[in-house]
Structure 1
């Protein structure tokens, strides 16, 4: 089961150890290690006139994302020849790409774009079924292959899911499908993730991607494939080694408020997940946080907070690899016209899930070359 995708939408209904900045693996490094450098250089040797003709080129590509009410972030990709457009969540908490298909029988597909394989000259069918489960629902369908374009990157023969059924939850979403950016080990039915296919085809200048999420519904959110942009953050990136390679999982030291440990006492595991709206954690730790910020559950199941207390509430600090990452009350409390609610929620996953509430505060680099996450305060 994948972790709680868009958990917040359901709720809605110094210095100790520093990891030195490192150089990510380049395309040349990758090709050399796999014994393909000579072939690549001979095939794509430099030609002064080559700029006048299209050819394969490793690159960094920026994909804009729409911020829907600070609850979901999605961008437009295309699948097939000619291209068919879809809005997808770029989800670091899963690893499959899927979109609705014309064969979908669920009401959830009725108000979304649907892929028609008969309209694509490059589509290749399979008989392999696909079943992906999320915390908020699931989809079933079949796997196929086609050309997928993400930003300026054209990813050929990409394996993806054509949804035949979808949970009712997806009917209410403004996106059509999901593009998973986790490791291959958590991909359902052994499908190759989009990022891995891009890298294996030599389409990326570096074996990493990065994410900036805007706040307060503003525009400007991006996922950058093959690099990162220093204009999105201040100071230096702090590199955190992964503790497990499936989700983007790390060791977290503690969660504190006013210098007191209120959760994750003695250390715990956390994942950085762009597909979860809130910050989630084990019930005992979340209960401590809700108590510390004066949140109580109302008749709608929300954890309500007195809006008048927001100005006096202290930062909640997540300490990761010896570095403190404070999240202010303005981020961990949602303020509506007449009421305020907590952006924390418990989960049975057993892990802390640092979702969009956290990522809006910190630019994140997801480094597959060294299995690291880079974090720095947003500019």
Structure 2
């Protein structure tokens, strides 16, 4: 991503679990900043400082600095977003030292932004009529070591990156991309009961995170895994050669089954006692420490399923579309990315939740806001996720975001490559997303 005029190239992690955008500032002298590219704001003719400072505290680490605005240039066939506010960090903790990117490009929903400057850039793209359709799509290479690691496409979806049909699910949070989930998951055909009843799609997480109780329940139900108390991990018995003998896991999101094979939910990692790298071992990517009633679906899930994040400006409705990923990286076979309007023939309509939260349950989203059961949405409600001349406004947010008719806009469909498979495992905030 280019920042400023002329553009200065910095890398960012596209994070659907965060609203904020920030990059290291030229004034930052911490070790974590020195390991990354910094934004030389004094060299940008379009930079404007704001009299606002910020601090973001994550589960592991923190960043802080000052807010400014400048021009963003995304990819070589550029999507140019002017006057985008972003944080310039002048301090960051050691937790970010080995992050695979210089900064964060937040792609959560607008209500997560606690301050006006944190409004996600995707929604400003919609405001300025820059996208063919108000969507962005994520494809991650099923190979976790692939370079590039995948692709983010703004303004459409690429059918060469997935197989079968896209199934669209209505999002049930105003802050995160949360979808309803059946509390029963399946290990092969055996049911496993959890407390979680919703899942959040989070590209910034490197693993699948659940509450400690739910993570232990799932892992204990998988024959061939054993608990390694010294590392607080569930590992494959007998080593990585036994991964293929493990069972599949099936999640039901709004009634539709999504299967993860053992190759998709097991991670190959090296044991590093001290500074020495020793043997390779395989561990379950389903880890504890997450929200009580929520499962966070991170990079492992995105490597298995192509994900379309969409926003209907007329009804203020976010939705998520899912389809099985293609198996390997290749140049796109589509000379022109398919707009979301043309994806309706592939989709089976918006899915409805297979079950609502139990009566009286203290169901909360990741920020502690009470969630109502998701309304049922049938296919007639799927009237193309297109821009309109109605206001796009999230309660409690500034009302200066107005949707633009496609005819008034220079419509674009822009893709960017994910530069690293690491997906910033070190970056975790208080919601548990990485």
TM-score normalised to the size of structure 2? 0.67
1:373 matched to 2:320? The reply is yes
1:241 counterpart (158, 170, 194): 170
Once the two structures are superposed, the pairs formed by residues 271-286 of structure 1 within 5 Å of their partners are 271-286=200-215
In the superposition, relative to structure 1, how do residues 338 and 109 fare at CA in structure 2: closer, same or farther (>3 Å)? closer
Q: Deviations over 1:84-140 (max 9, x none)?
A: 111100000001110000111422111111112111000000111122232332211
Give the whole-Å Cα distance in 2 for the aligned partners of 1:263 and 1:273: 23
Structure 2 residue aligned with 1:74: none
Runs of 4+ that moved beyond 3 A = 335-338
2:19 counterpart (95, 107, 111): 95
1:312 matched to 2:245? The reply is yes
In the superposition, relative to structure 1, how do residues 131 and 188 fare at CA in structure 2: closer, same or farther (>3 Å)? farther
User: Unaligned 5+ residue runs, structure 1?
Assistant: 1-76
Once the two structures are superposed, the pairs formed by residues 36-47 of structure 1 within 5 Å of their partners are none
Greater relative contact order (Cα < 8 A, sep 6+): 2
**Displacement of 1:260 after TM fit?**
2.6
Structure 2 residue aligned with 1:262: 192
Once the two structures are superposed, the pairs formed by residues 98-177 of structure 1 within 5 Å of their partners are 98-151=22-75, 152-177=78-103
1:178 matched to 2:104? The reply is yes
1:195 matched to 2:151? The reply is no
1:353 counterpart (296, 318, 322): 296
Give the whole-Å Cα distance in 1 for the aligned partners of 2:81 and 2:87: 15
Structure 2 residue aligned with 1:297: 228
What secondary structure sits across from 2:173 in the alignment? strand
Give the whole-Å Cα distance in 2 for the aligned partners of 1:361 and 1:225: 20
Once the two structures are superposed, the pairs formed by residues 22-41 of structure 1 within 5 Å of their partners are none
**Displacement of 1:187 after TM fit?**
2.0
Whose helix fraction is larger, Structure 1's or Structure 2's? 1
Give the whole-Å Cα distance in 1 for the aligned partners of 2:5 and 2:80: 11
> 1:295, 1:342 within 8 Å by CA — same for their partners in 2?
no
1:362 matched to 2:305? The reply is yes
Give the whole-Å Cα distance in 2 for the aligned partners of 1:309 and 1:292: 16
CA RMSD, 1 decimal = 1.6
Structure 1 residue aligned with 2:364: none
What secondary structure sits across from 1:218 in the alignment? coil
Give the whole-Å Cα distance in 1 for the aligned partners of 2:311 and 2:51: 31
Number of aligned positions between the proteins: 302
Give the whole-Å Cα distance in 2 for the aligned partners of 1:335 and 1:110: 29
**Displacement of 1:222 after TM fit?**
0.3
**Displacement of 1:300 after TM fit?**
3.5
> 2:171, 2:179 within 8 Å by CA — same for their partners in 1?
yes
When structure 1 is superposed on structure 2, of 363-372 and 340-349 the one drifting more is 340-349
> 1:184, 1:190 within 8 Å by CA — same for their partners in 2?
no
**Displacement of 1:353 after TM fit?**
0.1
When structure 1 is superposed on structure 2, of 354-363 and 295-304 the one drifting more is 295-304
What secondary structure sits across from 1:165 in the alignment? strand
2:254 counterpart (294, 297, 321): 321
User: Unaligned 5+ residue runs, structure 2?
Assistant: 270-278, 327-434
Give the whole-Å Cα distance in 1 for the aligned partners of 2:147 and 2:243: 25
Structure 2 residue aligned with 1:205: 132
